[in-house]
Structures are given as structure tokens and as C-alpha cells.
Homo-oligomer: A and B are copies of this chain.
């Protein structure tokens, strides 16, 4: 009996120590916070800043979701400011070989000159509602992981449908803390968006891929659009006023945007999966895409124009993924992650009740990672279509899946919807050829590979597919979509045939993923998060989910390789950098900028950094001061910020912004856009 008591006492003591360690409040400015979970006490305590509902609601309603990224209203007449690279697709869609707006930039001197951007949709978050009980209430005792997932998905679909029908808004349920909380987000959608201003890409993306994810920077990475309603500029009280006082080091700033995804609540085994399976595959694939695009771009200026938008995305993803992975390759970071997890698991193991409830979660997630690794390559090549890298395949698959899911109502919309404004068959052939080569290299013995290639080389197969498809014709797509399963199944179009051919294996892989990975991660991820709540309270921020979040930090430089990096850069630095690089691309400057240098105040700041917690998707986020005034727009993070995908850090990790002052100086002096500046400054 004695030894038992001793052991128990020892365990209790260990647990107590752990609890004390775990309960140390977060001292850092970590967190991309949902608007209904903002850490008001922390802000009050650390920064003596009182978050009021009015302040919060105004910032939320001035924040805009732009594609997968962010933007903000910056005038009462519906001006929306975002990054050039966020608006790039829309600008590219307005361009042709004759009028390349990416290259020349654009400024609408009058409202009549503003250019309508077809397909561009902006979302504004109107309301958040906690529906956790409804979603988790769908779970019945004894359900398998797969059944739990299915039950939640069903509940979510019902909640979304009911809310959409009732409110007329776009309603989406967001899963927070690995499925521990479910919040319903309701968006107002704006469909009439017009281009007002875009600088030349040379200045918007000064430094190009080499300088991407680095600092110091000198980029005018902005684009300005205007939202219309009923063919009139949108009148809105919820816009950000331009800052009135100068920005200083140490200033508290806030960022309101849609960070895409972080993995800070992932278990150690999930990180290992990313490091050893997912990222190596993804990086290799992005590298080969980059090489193919570069080669295509070298064929001539028109090919360069065509390739550039895709290339930008590929290089951006490549650099980001390498950066994320660098964190996982950092032994200290991983050791810290492991130690934290072990501490939590030890604390749980020591308490029989906690152990029963949460004890298995980590192991089950670990098993799911092993399972995932066993078919990850096939999953990426087929279900994620890495082997069929052409817009035509995406169109074909949408049509095929549209009829297979028996949703003919949505099919015609979809059939015409997601189409880029220009498709170039030689470009599509180049991309498809390389991805079919990848398929042949990776899965040479698969029956589907043999069927797709037959006796042809990947290039021959790609040419036959691209030149044979009629999917470019919107009438053809519409007819197919309206013809339903019969029309699709009997269609002789080679790209539709390809999509039909790979559908069984793609579906099988998706089912395998959903059943053996996603369902297990959802069920056990919820348990891990609940365990964390039990031990740490709810002071931990949730991972990013591509939805509106508020983060904060201070304007501050940092030290890199023993050298102090100042918190902001100036126009002077821009010209100096260009000169250092002999004005060679990607450090060349637009003619306008060369011609008008003399008129500029070179002391005006162009970019600045802050400790704001951010990640991809935050691009275009407005950054505001205590008064909620616009002080800049986030457009990047430094290279040190990339590993914060997994572990927050604020010593050297920085978000990078375009400075509000630099925007005004450039608009006035370089672009002579006085009316636009007057509207921004509210004059």
C-alpha cells in the first residue's frame, strides 16, 4: 500500500509542476484571433489598449476578403486597397498582348475609365455566430472517426443552408481549434468590382522572386479597386481613414485579414509528415514547374506575359514552402515542439480520467500520418491533379463531378464560371506535358498511366489532349453541363474522357484520405485541442483557417547576422538598391519612376516591419494604429517569419508592409493621381 501511495503522490507532484509550467500566460503577441475571441485583457494589460466593440466592428466591416487574400475599404465611396499581387489575376484578366496592364500599370482618371473585373468577388464579414453545440451535438456515442466526420459535415451543411436561406448572406461554418469550436461566418458578397489604380509590376514587385520573403524591401505592392452596387460606387461608413500622425518604432499596430493556414496545433507526428513527405514532394514539384515556366517565358515577350502570373504563384509558393520547411528542419525548433508535446502527454497520462479521454489521440494521429504517407504521391498526382496541370483538366473535372454529384442546377454556372479570360494552348501543352512526364516518372506501372500515355510520349499525349478538346468554347461547356450525366458520359472530348478515366482512382484516393486521415485527424485533433484547453485554458490562439482574424504587434526593426535592420525603408533606399543592381530586372525601375525621381521626397518611407503575427492570405490586409487609422498594407513576411507557420517567434520574425506615406507620395508625384489621393485622404 505504501509504494502505491508514494507513486501516486509523485505523480501528483509531477502533474502540479507541469500544470504550473503550462499555465504560465502567453507573454508574447502571438495570435491571429477571430473577431469574437480577441484577447482584450491581454491588450489592456500589456498595451493599455481598450478594445471597444465599436472599434472592432468598424475594423471588421472595413476589412475585405479578396480571393484567398485580404483588402480594406479606404474611402466612403467604395475604394478598396489591396496588394498588387492579390489583384494580379484580375489585372491580368484585363490585359491582352496589346494592352499589358501588368507591365504598364493603370490609372482611371475618371470613374468612367474604371475597368470592370469580371469574376472578381469581394466578401465582407457581417456577423459571427457560435454554433459549436449544434455541430458537436451531431456526434453520438460509439461513432467511428469516419462517422463523426460525416455527422459534423452533415450538421454543418444544414446550418449553412438554413442561415443562408434566412439571411440571404453567404454563410460558412468555420472549424476552430481542430474542430473544438465551430463558428458560423456570414458574408455580404460584392460582385461589381472595378480597377482604379495599379502601378507597373516592376515597382509593385521590385526585387522579384529573389527579394520575395526578404527585408529590407522597397515595393509599391498595391492595387486600388472600387466596389459598385447597382452601377453606382458603394457608399459605406465602414472604411479606414488615412493616418494623421507619423508612425514610430514601438507603435502598437493591428492587422485585419484572412490568414490562410498555420499548423501550430499540429502534433509532432503531423510535423514529421510535412517535413519528410509532403514538403519534399511539394518543393520538388514546384521546382519543376518553375523551370518549365521559365523556359516557356524565355520563348518571347508574349510568352513571358502569359507565363508570368502562373510563375509568380509558383515561385511564391516555392519560397514559402521552403521557408516553412526550414522551421521543421531546425532541430531546436523540433526539439522544443517535441518537449512541449511530451509534457502535455505526460500530464495527461498521469491522470487516469484525462488519460482515458485524451490518451490515445496522439498515437492515432501518428498512425494516420503513416497511412497518409503510403498513398500521398498518388493522392497528389490524381486527386490533387498534379499530373494534369492544365486549366482544361480543371474544367473537365468540374463538369464531370458536377453531374456525378447530381447537382445539375449549379453545373451551368460552374461551366462558365471559373474560366480564365485567356487560355493559350501552347502554354497549356507545355504545362500538361511536364505533369504527364511527372506521372510517368512517379507511377510508370499504374494502369491509368499506361492508358493515358498509350504508345505516345507525354508531349504527344498532351498535344493530342489540348488540341482535341473543345472546352475553350463556353457554349460547348454549357451544353455539356445541361446535358447532365448522359452528355458527359458519352462526350467524345478527350479532356472529358481523361477526367472520366481518372475519376475512379481519384475518388478512391479521396475516400481513403477522408476516411483514414482526415476523419482521424478531425476526431483526435479535437481531443488534442480539448486536452490543451483543460491544461492551458483558452488563452491559446486557434490556427489560421483562411477567415477574418485580428493580429497585433509593434513596429520594430530587428538584428540579422549581427546587423541592425531598421524598422522602415525609404524611397531613397529604393533608388540606391536599383543602382546597386545596375537597374537589371528584377531590380529595374519603370520609366516614370526614373523620370520623376527628382520630384520625390526621398525621405518618405516606402515599407516598414512590425511583429504582427501573419501568414499567407494576410496579403493586402490593412494595418491600422490605435485609432483604427490606415498606416499601411501588409504584403509579405521576412524569411525568418516563415517557420512561424509552426512556432510563433517575435525576435526576428516580421510582417512587411507598404507604408501609407509611400503610397501617397508615389500616387501624387509619380502617377499624378491627385483626385485619387484626395479621395484617400478625405479631402
Contacts and interface: CB of A to CB of B under 8 A. Distances in A.
Contacts of A446: 492
A492 B450 CA distance: 13
Interface string A434-471: 00000000000011101100110000000000000000
Contact of A508 (B454, B489, B504, B511): B489
Chain B CB within 10 Å — which of A451, A485, A487, A507 has the most?
A451
Contacts of A500: 504
A317 to B, nearest CB: 28
A488 B508 contact: yes
Interface string A497-522: 10011011101110110010000000
Nearest to A491: B508
B507 A485 contact: yes
Nearest to A515: B486
A485 B508 contact: yes
A583 B427 CA distance: 76
A494 interface: yes
Secondary structure of the A side of the interface? helix
A7 interface: no
Given A455-B454, A455-B455, A505 B490 contact: yes
Contacts of A489: 504-505, 507-509, 511
Contact of A447 (B492, B508, B509): B492
A287 to B, nearest CB: 29
Chain B CB within 10 Å — which of A486, A488, A503 has the most?
A486
Contacts of A451: 451, 454, 501
Given A450-B454, A454-B454, A501-B501, A512 B494 contact: no
Nearest to A451: B451
Nearest to A493: B447
B494 A508 contact: no
Contacts of A501: 451, 501
Contacts of A494: 447
Nearest to A511: B486
A486 B504 contact: no
Contacts of A509: 489-490
A17 to B, nearest CB: 46
A454 to B, nearest CB: 5
A501 B503 CA distance: 9
A451 B501 CA distance: 10
A254 to B, nearest CB: 46
Contact of A512 (B490, B492, B497, B511): B490
A501 B505 CA distance: 10
A681 to B, nearest CB: 60
Contacts of A450: 454
Contacts of A490: 505, 508-509, 512
Contacts of A508: 485-490
Contacts of A512: 486, 490
Contacts of A497: 447-448
Interface string A588-618: 0000000000000000000000000000000
Contacts of A455: 454-455
Nearest to A516: B486
Contacts of A505: 489-490
Contacts of A448: 497
A239 B446 CA distance: 59
Nearest to A500: B504
Contacts of A487: 508
A446 B491 CA distance: 11
A519 to B, nearest CB: 12
Chain B CB within 10 Å — which of A508, A509, A511 has the most?
A508
Nearest to A400: B504
Contacts of A504: 488-489, 500, 503
Nearest to A375: B490
Q: Which 9 A-B pairs have the closest CB atoms?
A: A489-B508, A490-B508, A455-B455, A451-B451, A486-B511, A500-B504, A489-B504, A447-B497, A454-B454
Given A485-B508, A503-B504, 20 more contacts: A446-B492, A447-B494, A450-B454, A451-B454, A451-B501, A454-B454, A454-B455, A485-B507, A485-B511, A486-B508, A486-B511, A486-B512, A487-B508, A489-B504, A489-B505, A489-B508, A489-B509, A489-B511, A490-B505, A501-B501
14 contacts: A446-B492, A447-B497, A448-B497, A485-B507, A485-B511, A486-B512, A486-B515, A488-B504, A489-B505, A490-B505, A490-B508, A490-B512, A500-B504, A503-B504
